[in-house]
Structure 1
């Protein structure tokens, strides 16, 4: 999207929030006590690249969105590559403020009448320590919005922030006695000492563990490995996500998604919002995975 178009879109969102008038996409949640059924497995990879960051994913009922952030002159900017940085595309403008407004408008939840906590996966692209400390400051500006950790207990909020990317953020998060964010682990963390209260999510590159890309049957040994990973994570109260899975519409992608659902993988990664929504409506059980 061109910078001028981005600024115009952000201006529309800002005007709606400032006047207290819900933008049209907020009304999509429905007029009754419960809105559309969200899709707990649906994860919007590189969500900020869509024409309407966040709102397109919510219109497709996604339960998880991903934003890459850079710390630039004290502000958190959202982009995939440094060349795309725009001072008006901040984490606060694209995600934090709109989520806060939506939760207020929908009486304490992202999806009206639904207890699911939306996952905001924040992928740190600059030095992890300094970037996370600024993220922590910004999250704390929204009391009641985010899931928190304090005194050894997790209190679930409408949105759960999980930090990924630069690994220097991990020790900083682990050292906090109170926080509004959690850490995205890797398969090397599975079975380790860190509890789900620190690492609620285990994410990794599909191609580092599996050779199968959806063509023909999944090899039995790889199917067993996938199910073993999920079972081990779930036994510790952790969720599982893989990136770098096939994402071109076709039988290979469908096969990988089907095997992932059969193994109870918690989040399916995609840039194709409508495609995953349709697939989950057709193939996933109605209640989806566990909402946390």
Structure 2
């Protein structure tokens, strides 16, 4: 059985376990071990891209152990609505209702952590789709109401909380963020931020497009020059105590996607980006990478 077939079998087994729970059938001992502490061990390197498009935003990602989730926000009549496209906006789907309030309830129930028994700070990547300056100012007021959950930066000193909000999207958010002495959010930088005066306490994450950076999409061996470039980017980010994430990696199930994921793991990249929650979970657990 090759690696892709084996991981497909793992996903099928997970689905069977869920079905067993629904019908009251007994679970195998391994599954009982996995659920004994209230859920799977978290996967710090798993990032749920466009998380809000799943049937149960946030909750599906947490059920699969993801260490990072992404929500796109729009400022509409003073409210922060969550959607990928403007046509999909729904007044009931707010950042608070889908993410912040459920996280508050979960952290309270778990005694101060998102994942019971694990000190992982969940990354909440908030992608701003409307003008950055006014949207961030509105977001900052909302985050302040949930400050007991959040990592905070005060005068350049960072205190980690159960959730770390990182702001991406429209670059107009940068100026009001930098002006805050007490800040409950952090900035998603770009490769051009490496080597600049922006400290990791402000921009701890560097994100960029895979397809804009590399020609290789997982078919055949990764070209030597591109493998070297990937390792150099990881090294440059880590030298400045920043994490590195690529979006737009191949995400159709198959060996090409897994080849790219493996190359990212081998190079030490901090996050794997996917819309396929069970597929990425199975890959990371099967390869014994990224499990806390």
Please confirm whether the aligned pair reaches a TM-score higher than 0.5, indicating the same fold: yes
2:100 aligned partner: 96
Whether 2:189 is the aligned partner of 1:220: answer no
Q: How does 1:119-138 map to 2 (within 5 A)?
A: 119-138=123-142
1:169 aligned partner: 173
Q: Distance in 2 between matches of 1:164 and 1:103?
A: 24
Change in Cα spacing, 1:101 to 1:30, as seen in structure 2 (3 Å) is: farther
TM-score, normalised to structure 2, is 0.86
TM-superposition CA deviations, 1:79-120 (whole Å, max 9, x none): 000000000000000000000000000000000010110000
Structure 1: runs of 5+ lacking an equivalent: 1-27
Q: Distance in 2 between matches of 1:284 and 1:202?
A: 25
Q: Distance in 2 between matches of 1:267 and 1:205?
A: 13
Native 8 Å contact 2:40 2:63 kept in 1: no
Counterpart among 252, 255, 269 of residue 251 in structure 1 = 255
How many Å apart are 1:64 and its aligned residue? 0.3
TM-score, normalised to structure 1, is 0.86
Q: How does 1:55-70 map to 2 (within 5 A)?
A: 55-70=59-74
Q: Distance in 1 between matches of 2:93 and 2:72?
A: 11
Native 8 Å contact 1:128 1:167 kept in 2: yes
Structure 2: runs of 5+ lacking an equivalent: 1-31
Q: How does 1:1-292 map to 2 (within 5 A)?
A: 35-285=39-289, 287=291
How many Å apart are 1:285 and its aligned residue? 3.0
Q: Distance in 1 between matches of 2:256 and 2:246?
A: 16
Q: Distance in 1 between matches of 2:187 and 2:171?
A: 9
Q: Distance in 1 between matches of 2:33 and 2:184?
A: 26
Q: Distance in 2 between matches of 1:189 and 1:219?
A: 26
SS at match of 1:66: strand
How many Å apart are 1:32 and its aligned residue? 5.9
Q: Which aligned segments of 4 or more residues in structure 1 are displaced greater than 4 angstroms?
A: 28-35
Native 8 Å contact 1:29 1:112 kept in 2: no
Native 8 Å contact 1:34 1:113 kept in 2: no
Change in Cα spacing, 1:73 to 1:221, as seen in structure 2 (3 Å) is: same
Native 8 Å contact 2:218 2:259 kept in 1: yes
CA RMSD after TM alignment = 1.7
Q: How many residues align?
A: 261
